[in-house]
Amino acid sequence: MEKSGSTDSLGSKRSSSRQPSVDSLSSTSTSRSDRSAQAKPPSAMSSDSVSTGEFSPELRVKPKIPAKVLRDSDKEEPQLLPKETVQDMAQDVTYFCPFIGALRGTVTITNYRLFFKCMDREPAFVLDLPLGVVSRVEKIGSASSRGDVSYGLVCKDMRNLRFAHKQMEDTLRKSIFEVLMKFAFPVSNGLQIFAFEYGQMFPENGWKVYDTVSEYKRQGIPNESWRITKVNDHYELCDTYPSNLAVPVNIPDEELKRVAAFRAKGRIPVLSWIHPESQATVTRCSQPMVGVNGKRSKEDEKYLQAIMDANAQSHKLFIFDARPSVNAAANKMKGGGYESEDAYQNAELVFLDIHNIHVMRESLRKLKDVVYPNIEDSHWLSNLESTHWLEHIKLILAGALRIADKVESGKTSVVVHCSDGWDRTGQLTSLAMLMLDSYYRTIRGFEVLLEKEWLSFGHRFQLRIGHGDKNHTDADRSPVFIQFIDCVWQLTRQFPAAFEFNEYFLVTILDHLYSCLFGTFLCNSEQQRLKEEIPKRTVSLWSYINSQLEEFTNPLYVNYSNHVLFPVVSLRHLELWVGYYIRWNPRMRPQEPVHQRYKELLAKRAELQKRVDELQREVTNRSASSSSERAGSPTRSITPVQTFV
């Protein structure tokens, strides 16, 4: 496979898309997006906008499939989605916008969103917020001298919103923000998440994007070294794993059960990816249950030996433990631990020093304090450094790079785990596979990667995000998946032509991680999704995305099928993702509407490709007619030129 180690090798300069300088953080200039006049998507992405004008997010989509529109005569209601119903409405509510000050208008609460509209400005100001984004609602103080009651909305997407309205004269009537709490936290209030109500029809069924057997077949599995086992068909071996697992061919199902008894949560080492040439593999699992007494398992040792033996190119196995060594050792006190190099012959253990979910949660909290609502210009760099966010991103990328390098350059099989194997492990395996396999860098391939490494392998989305749950202090909440998408964005910055998808694709995925409009990120495991009948009862996010691919396509994309990406993971080459974390600040918007320029480039690219195809046919036809005219005489055939724009 060819290797790409820099931006230039894939045909694009980075200088044109640099992070804003510190000066621009305090700039007072704002730009009007050309795309802002377009309609809202059926997804109703959360937005801070002056109607559809100056403060509108630059990343917007005009849907091909129009949502059903129910519009009030005074135009104060939002465009409603299928099965979305208005629950309450309040006049004379004040929204304290941190960028343009207090705005008085109307709030509408539906079973899906909060919709605020101020008609006093020209153009009108609109705030459209999916309720799934709300982390908590706080009543701020008691009623003021003017009789106003204030409420604060802390959001999962970096924002804090504050509203005030007059004290209700009718004390029996609920405040509109009490109604909001009921529908923002449906799980805590015995209601259904809106995804179960939403019935939008799309041309494609996104639930069919990923099929386990088809993906293994694409990788050449089963083969003489690996088989697909049905031992977990009813989730009895491991209830957080998928039903189909790829395991070494010489390990029978009975032995798999004994290996499961030695691995945390029964998460045995299973195949994630196999190199098409060397047969080196990426396998994932949870920590071994070694404990303080250093327990061993002959079956587990034999199993890892079988993984190594399946790769004839190397007589070594690398075990990458995502944790800092101190944390891994501390886990022995809880019955866990790590592999001893004495017990596992020819195996080398490497710790990657990635911190746990609690450290990451605190890091994101600090980042939010730094970037929202206002940025302190004089201490920007030191404040950003104090969050340690980019350091964590660096360690995750560095770990994935080491894994990819061992598989590609070292032709050595690797085993990856953290404690339970559903957080840091998923980050590392999916990023390494993204570097190794160009298929995952396409739009559909990336969807398959998420379905496979995150959803089917049991990343606990429900617990980490807290869909519809008011318990915002839950220790299980953590931005593990957000960090992964951030790492993917960092790769797209270093290799602008290597990915078929654009930044808007990544932002859309994160918006719908929270929105509860689609069923894709609901529940904690494949078993739970089947039990809740998620594919039958909800719409897949991929249905929405794949119905309008032009919105999410990178016009610079070049399909280098055998390229392996080796990014630079130095902190000097990493950037804060302004387009996601600071997108609500109007001063941070691009001077030009980048997304619109991308669409224009795509159209131009298609036009040029069409012309190339026409010329290609013309050359072929001339060649054929020339050959027939001079049949019998020696002629030199014209070879058609294979040209791709």
Catalytic residues: 418
Q: Give the β-pairing of 113-118 and 125-130.
A: antiparallel
Smallest CA-to-CA distance from 117 within 85, 80, 91 is with 91
Residue pair 270/285 in contact (Cβ under 8 Å)? The answer is: yes
Strand partners of residue 273: 282
* Torsion sign (Cα): 52, 53, 56, 60: positive
Smallest CA-to-CA distance from 152 within 560, 598, 472, 508 is with 472
Tell me the one-letter amino acid at 470: K
Q: Cα(first)–Cα(last) distance of the chain, in Å? A: 23
Residue pair 49/56 in contact (Cβ under 8 Å)? The answer is: yes
Which residues are CB-contacts of 348 (< 8 A; sequence separation ≥ 6)? 316, 317, 318, 319, 341
How far is residue 462's CA from residue 625's CA, in Å, rounded to a whole number?
A: 65
Which three-class secondary structure state does DSSP give residue 580? helix
How far is residue 442's CA from residue 334's CA, in Å, rounded to a whole number?
A: 41
What DSSP element (H or E) covers 149? strand 148-155
How far is residue 50's CA from residue 545's CA, in Å, rounded to a whole number?
A: 26
Tell me which DSSP letter residue 456 carries. I
How far is residue 132's CA from residue 117's CA, in Å, rounded to a whole number?
A: 20
Smallest CA-to-CA distance from 25 within 375, 307, 321, 369 is with 375
CA distances from 82 to 77, 111, 185, 488 (A): 15, 11, 20, 33
Smallest CA-to-CA distance from 386 within 582, 586, 154, 576 is with 576
Residue pair 235/249 in contact (Cβ under 8 Å)? The answer is: no
Matching residue, tokens 């916008």: 97
How far is residue 101's CA from residue 96's CA, in Å, rounded to a whole number?
A: 6
Q: Give the β-pairing of 317-321 and 413-417.
A: parallel
Smallest CA-to-CA distance from 219 within 410, 445, 455 is with 445
How far is residue 27's CA from residue 20's CA, in Å, rounded to a whole number?
A: 10
Residue pair 128/108 in contact (Cβ under 8 Å)? The answer is: no
Smallest CA-to-CA distance from 70 within 86, 55, 58 is with 86
Q: Nearest 5°: phi and psi at 465?
A: -100, -35
Residue pair 393/490 in contact (Cβ under 8 Å)? The answer is: yes
